[in-house]
Structure 1
Amino acid sequence: MKFYRTNIDLRLTVILFIFGLVYASISLVNHFLFRTYGWDLGLYNNALYDYSRFQWNNEILLLPYLKISNSLGDHFSLTTVFISPLVWIFGSYTMLIFQIASILWGGYGIYRYVEYISGEKKTARWATVHFLSMWGIYSALAFDYHDNVVAAMFVPWFMLYVFRKKYLLSSLFLLLILTAKENMALWTIFICIGLITILYKEKRTLIYLMAATIFSGLYFIVVSKFVIPSLSGSDNDYIHFRYNVLGSSMKEALFFFFQHPVQSFTILFENHTGNPAFYGIKSELHFLVLLSGGIALFYKPQFLLMLIPIYFQKMFHNDPGKWGIFLQYSVEFAPILTIAVFYSITKAANKALKNYLMYATVACSLLGAIYLLDHKREFNYPPEQARFYQKQHYQTNYNIDSIYSAMKLIPPDAKVSAHSMLVPHLAIRDVIYYFPYIGDAEYVMALPSSGNYYPLNKNEFLFKLDSLQKDISWQTIYVDSSAILIKKR
């Protein structure tokens, strides 16, 4: 079972190294400068701590807004469980480092897949550049860690081993995709269906893909319908179904698609909230998909099949922030678009045309990334979180040294309520709350001048802090222009 080769492609190594530096300059710098957040990186870091100590995580960071007895009852992801021992090496940076490594591993998977179907290392290298330049990757890296990013990076490997008829290895990567996040099972159903339409003439592969499709479907039903509700500690259905335009449940959504096919199709392009602030978000996504190689989806619609659940989970959602190109909600486009466009390019008979298409596609992918990085919508993260090429990305108004000094005053086993940007750094402990919820916390720490007061407004946030400072049961033990640390007497 070999995932690597002894004959190293030096040019590929340089490509991976350069992109690794770029990714680290986005993700790791953001974390160091307190641009990562309680929701979501803080949740993952606290889960890492619990799993590394062989105990379940109860997502107390969601209190008082949501009470879950087991974090697997929120999203069923085993990735955090698998890598939890690494927290004792990399600390609060663990998930971010793992995410970067996963993306580079996905890039290597693209290289191996394209080399296999084309027989050309040069084409495979350019495919890797195309993939690692994709805007969906940069938008995900700019905001914390997410399981679907890791899952998407296993897709090229799954497809490679299906094509090579290495079914044991393809099954391993299928399981890694499925266990990364429960909704990935819907995606693998359509990936398998798309592969069936390509490889249907190969009997053993056809049987394997049909079995993988059925297994993915059963996995999704069992996990979303039974496992997650039972672990969440409630009798509720799957808590992440937020598609009011389709109905109140997955069953109603399925009926809606069949009863209103035309309306379902138009929602893929229309702002179904009616709020003018959200016009153009879906069009922007479609434009970048086409720019980054989406035209190949018309030439090889088998790959468009693979993106059906990605389009639907984005475009029908209640939250307009999920429709567009920002955050982690578009990373699944990256492997499919790269594979689709280079699968199409390898079919070109004319070598000159093949090279022209290859270079043009890579250039368009880079243009898409530039557009994303230089573009901003008000309801997404601040632009300095993504623009690694600007000085502002490496600067902050905080006194970084003083904040880290203040955090050292908190004992490692203390119960803490912390401001969102501090939570990921302080979550490697048993009890951590998301301020303004205090619970039984012994320490409260905040950055009053941060400008980020979610879920409160500024006045509510500062009033809450001021009340604690005036409360005789609390003592302010550290305060400066950047941070305040309050201790229970």
Structure 2
Amino acid sequence: MAVRRRARRAAPWAWSAALFVLYGALSVRRHQLLRTTGYDLGIFEQAVQAYSRLRLPYVPLKGEGGTVNLLGDHFHPILAVLAPLYRVFPAAETLLLAQAALLALAVVPLARWAGRVLGRAALHTVALGYGLSWGIASTVAFDFHEVAFAVPLLAFSLEALGRGRHERAVLLAAPLLLVKEDLGLTLAALGGYLVWRGRRTLGFATLLGGVLGTLVITKLLLPALSPSGTYAYGEYVAEGGRGSLLMTLAAAPLDALRPEVKAVTLVLVFAPTALLALRSPIALLALPTLGWRLLSRHDYHWETAFHYSAVLMPIVFAAAIDALTPYGRFGPFSPDGTKDNPLAARHLRASLATVLAVTLVLLPSFPFGLVLRKDTWRTPGHVHVARALLARIPDGATVAASNRLVPQLVSRTTVVLFPGYPIPGRLYDTDGTPPPPTSEWILHDSRPHPAWPLPDGHWPYPPHRQQEELARAQKTYGYRVVAQDDGITLLRRKGPVARDGAETSIR
């Protein structure tokens, strides 16, 4: 019996270790295949690099010259905790493995909670279901993002909530305010849940803290730290800020499910739990994230790609555990093995089996399926060529590089995007003329990369526009071809580079 108890206590950690290996292997392999990007892995690495040097996170990739403080873009000071690790291991892989560890750690409280109230089979079902869920897969397959910190914070907080340790749940969720500005609303939703459960004082305090924290960050801190003096993402939900709040709220139920891709995503959010999460009020904690995503004016927020669903996965699995908890007293899967109610036992067994089935059905459609593909573990000739040309750029150089080459250079050079943006820090304005390059080196890759979720590989400008800018760099700004192979061009310019009528010396 003692051995069995020890095995059950160790099982969640064993799952965490196994998932870390999976997540880490896929993330690092994508990086080795040049499938990571400057936007976003390169940006976050430059921020953590600055923290490791005891500086504010001024990021050259968001504006040449390092004039953009990333804390004015999104509010994520929690990234500073990675600085000591990056100081010892200054590489993009450090961020990718840290993210893998954070996402894998979240399985521990979820599996432990399921095992305690539902039994051993539920422990393994929840661990597998969460660990292979599409929301986590999408996050692992797209660079590094600060929301990885929120995933274990929510998982541990919700486990405490399930055990009736409400103060502990709030303490564990409070750091969400340091992860990203919108997560204060998730903290507020936790407060609303506590009010509903009768913990009015604690609940109202948490709700108020989440709302006030969000307002302070978005209305004061972000504008103060942004070069534009505004919160750059504040108009994502409203139509350019036009219309009253009342009209926006009135239209929200209709807007939230148009077009149909939104409805598909909404169903898929709860699908990993076979929709069981919808039977628990804990699922209401997903509303803030779902709300801003479905009401956003940008279609990539509506989809299943990228990292936007990561914070929803611990919520829906916690809600599923809570929904099944009343059945945990029955059947062979119960902690004590009692069989008082065969019907309830069958319901629990069927529910767990359905969660497993949905997990396996969805698996090939999302990035964890890449692990089974041969091309994931083969290194094409194009990557070998790219690495040879990357090696010709000396440490400490200034470089303008294609989006998928940027993360290969951040740790040892000062790198910006090529072609650059016409307005520093404006992520989506690509209509104007890019600013002239001021870096000593340019490294441009004209070939697309078969990389989920950006299959065309030509972001941020279409191929013809990138070729025009490459030709302009040679004709107008004096860059000369150093090497060219398999669609990759390495250029260099010595001496001053003209920009806005001034001469800027290349160091």
AA partner of residue 189 (structure 2): F
CA deviations 1:45-76 (Å, max 9, x no partner) are: 11111111111223331337x99631100001
Paired residues for 1:47-446 under 5 Å: 47-63=47-63, 69-87=68-86, 88-89=88-89, 91-116=91-116, 118=117, 120-164=119-163, 169-197=168-196, 199-200=197-198, 203=199, 206-245=200-239, 248=241, 254-258=245-249, 260=250, 263-271=251-259, 280-293=260-273, 295-300=275-280, 302-348=281-327, 349=330, 350-373=344-367, 387-395=370-378, 397-428=380-411, 431-437=414-420, 439-446=437-444
AA partner of residue 337 (structure 1): V
Identity of aligned residues (%): 20
Cα pair 1:444 1:485 within 8 Å, conserved: yes
CA deviations 1:412-450 (Å, max 9, x no partner) are: 221111110011121225732110135431111122223
Aligned to 2:460: 455
> 5+ unaligned residues in a row in structure 1: which ranges?
272-279, 374-384
Q: State the structure with more CA Rg.
A: 2
Q: Once structures 1 and 2 are overlaid, which stretch shifts more, 386-395 or 88-97?
A: 386-395
Q: Write the distance in 2 (CA, Å) between the matches of 1:119 and 1:308.
A: 26
Indicate the SS of the match to 2:492.
Answer: strand
Aligned to 1:377: none
Q: Write the distance in 2 (CA, Å) between the matches of 1:405 and 1:33.
A: 14
Indicate the SS of the match to 2:482.
Answer: strand
CA deviations 1:174-211 (Å, max 9, x no partner) are: 233221111111112113322443x32xx5xx433332
AA partner of residue 446 (structure 2): P
Indicate the SS of the match to 1:266.
Answer: helix
Q: CA deviation at 1:360?
A: 1.5
Question: Stretches of 4+ moved more than 6 A in 1?
Answer: 5-8
Taking only aligned residues, the RMSD between alpha carbons, in angstroms, comes to: 2.8
Q: Write the distance in 1 (CA, Å) between the matches of 2:148 and 2:484.
A: 38
Structure 1 residues 80 and 161, CA gap change in structure 2 (3 angstroms)? same
> 5+ unaligned residues in a row in structure 2: which ranges?
331-343, 421-435, 450-456, 495-507
Q: CA deviation at 1:309?
A: 1.1
Q: Once structures 1 and 2 are overlaid, which stretch shifts more, 43-52 or 401-410?
A: 401-410
Aligned to 1:380: none
Structure having greater relative contact order (Cα 8 Å, sep ≥ 6): 1
Cα pair 1:134 1:366 within 8 Å, conserved: no
Q: CA deviation at 1:128?
A: 1.5
Structure 1 residues 190 and 96, CA gap change in structure 2 (3 angstroms)? same
Q: Write the distance in 1 (CA, Å) between the matches of 2:222 and 2:472.
A: 39
Cα pair 2:269 2:309 within 8 Å, conserved: no
Q: How many residues are treated as equivalent by the alignment?
A: 452
Q: CA deviation at 1:169?
A: 4.8
CA deviations 1:296-354 (Å, max 9, x no partner) are: 34422x12321211221111111112112221122222111111112111212522321
Q: Write the distance in 1 (CA, Å) between the matches of 2:477 and 2:60.
A: 26
Cα pair 1:225 1:238 within 8 Å, conserved: no
Q: Write the distance in 2 (CA, Å) between the matches of 1:418 and 1:173.
A: 40
Cα pair 1:46 1:430 within 8 Å, conserved: no
TM-score, structure 1 normalization: 0.84
CA deviations 1:97-138 (Å, max 9, x no partner) are: 11110111111121233345x063442232121111211111
CA deviations 1:149-182 (Å, max 9, x no partner) are: 3312310111223444656754542233221111
AA partner of residue 320 (structure 2): V
Q: Once structures 1 and 2 are overlaid, which stretch shifts more, 136-145 or 120-129?
A: 120-129
Structure 1 residues 195 and 394, CA gap change in structure 2 (3 angstroms)? farther
Cα pair 1:193 1:305 within 8 Å, conserved: no
Matched, 1:464 2:444: no
Cα pair 1:48 1:84 within 8 Å, conserved: yes
Cα pair 1:137 1:334 within 8 Å, conserved: yes
Q: Write the distance in 1 (CA, Å) between the matches of 2:185 and 2:477.
A: 54
